[in-house]
């Protein structure tokens, strides 16, 4: 798939996501190139939000540049109706790997504060088994060595993402070589390793709906 073709699919799925947003709501917004398209299409459609809760400085800047008021989670009086974000991989059960853009911790936090999670992707992100895309793990810097030992014991090979710190000020280890056949179990296992702030498996809080764009159109996938 060429870059122009993939960009067209991102725009198509962004437009489909805009149709899911209610006027006047507080919306949770993720991070990434597909989300950038969604923010642009939301503005183009003239959908007025009460406010947005953002998962990254990058997203906050884009929302504010288009006139959307960005608030923190502490301003919420109840869970948001909807969170919209992309993914690096998604399986048939709507479990995901996220964090290629480095915002995995805030994405997981904001997703936890929403009643409904819609994932927007192009068809190239669909996989049978998670793990082809390197799994991001945000880690405490002083724990990189013991965390790496623990990850290798699980069969993965961690590689420090060079020159990158998250919005929280932490480095990221990208883990290659994992075949994640049980995403929930792997997410729990990684959660227990001291020094890992967040891992990029979104299975315990998976998507409720995936909008998937292909040249044939945008399809809706849901899990039971």
Same domain, 85 and 102: yes
Of 89, 107, 138, 187, catalytic = 107
Q: Give the CA angle between residues 28, 33, 36 to the nearest 5°.
A: 50
Same domain, 87 and 185: no
Same domain, 111 and 209: yes
Token code pair at residue 22: 């209610």
pLDDT at 224: 60
Token code pair at residue 117: 């999670």
Q: Give the CA angle between residues 99, 199, 83 to the nearest 5°.
A: 55
Same domain, 82 and 103: yes
Same domain, 81 and 32: yes
Taking only the tens place, the pLDDT of each residue in 33-66 is 999 999 999 999 999 999 999 999 999 999 999 9
Same domain, 58 and 9: yes
Cα 44 to Cα 25: distance, rounded to the nearest angstrom: 17
Same domain, 212 and 108: yes
Average pLDDT over residues 171-177: 98
CATH of the domain at 145: 3.30.70.260
Same domain, 15 and 92: yes
**Residue 2 pLDDT > 90, yes or no?**
no
Q: Strand 201-202 and strand 96-97: pairing?
A: antiparallel
**Residue 11 pLDDT > 60, yes or no?**
yes
Cα 78 to Cα 45: distance, rounded to the nearest angstrom: 27
Do 125 and 213 form a contact (C-beta atoms < 8 A)? no
pLDDT at 1: 56
How many domains is the chain partitioned into structurally? 2
Same domain, 193 and 99: no
Token code pair at residue 82: 């909807």
Same domain, 47 and 155: no
Same domain, 18 and 118: yes
Q: Which residues of 129-160 are buried (b: 16+ CB within 10 A; e: fewer)?
A: ebbebbbbbbbeeebbeebbebbeeeebebee
pLDDT at 10: 95
pLDDT at 168: 96
CATH of the domain at 83: 3.40.50.1360
Find, among 92, 121, 89, 97, the residue nearest to 6 by Cα: 121
Express the helix, strand and coil content of the chain in percent, nearest 5 each. Answer: 35, 25, 40
Sign of CA dihedral 38, 43, 45, 50: positive
**Residue 223 pLDDT > 80, yes or no?**
no
Taking only the tens place, the pLDDT of each residue in 118-150 is 999 999 999 999 999 999 999 999 999 999 999
pLDDT at 3: 62
Average pLDDT over residues 155-184: 97
Taking only the tens place, the pLDDT of each residue in 108-124 is 999 999 999 999 999 99
pLDDT at 5: 85
Q: Strand 172-176 and strand 135-139: pairing?
A: antiparallel
DSSP state of 74: G
Range of the domain at 160: 135-199
Taking only the tens place, the pLDDT of each residue in 58-89 is 999 999 999 999 999 999 999 999 999 999 99
The share of the chain scoring above pLDDT 90, in percent, equals 96
Same domain, 103 and 121: yes
Is 107 among the residues known to form the active site?
Answer: yes
This model's pTM is above 0.85: yes
SS3 of residue 30 by DSSP: coil
Do 63 and 52 form a contact (C-beta atoms < 8 A)? yes
């Amino acid at each position: 798939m060429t870059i122009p073709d993939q960009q067209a699919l991102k725009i198509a799925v962004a437009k489909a996501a805009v149709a899911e947003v209610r006027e006047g709501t507080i919306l949770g917004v993720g991070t990434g190139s597909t989300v950038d398209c969604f923010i642009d299409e939301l503005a183009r459609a003239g959908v007025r939000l009460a406010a947005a809760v953002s998962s990254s400085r990058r997203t906050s800047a884009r929302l504010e540049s288009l006139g959307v008021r960005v608030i923190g989670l502490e301003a919420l009086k109840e869970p948001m109706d909807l969170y919209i974000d992309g993914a690096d991989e998604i399986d048939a059960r709507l479990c995901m790997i996220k964090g290629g853009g480095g915002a995995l911790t805030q994405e997981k936090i904001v997703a936890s504060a929403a009643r409904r999670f819609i994932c927007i992707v192009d068809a190239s992100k669909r996989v049978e088994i998670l793990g082809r895309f390197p799994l991001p793990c945000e880690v405490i810097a002083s724990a990189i060595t013991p965390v790496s030992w623990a990850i290798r014991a699980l069969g993965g090979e961690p590689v420090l993402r060079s020159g990158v710190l998250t919005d929280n000020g932490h480095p990221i280890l990208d883990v290659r070589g994992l075949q994640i056949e049980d995403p929930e179990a792997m997410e729990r296992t990684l959660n227990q390793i001291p020094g890992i702030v967040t891992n990029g498996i979104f299975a315990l809080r998976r998507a409720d709906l995936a909008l998937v764009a292909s040249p044939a159109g945008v399809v809706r996938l849901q899990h039971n």
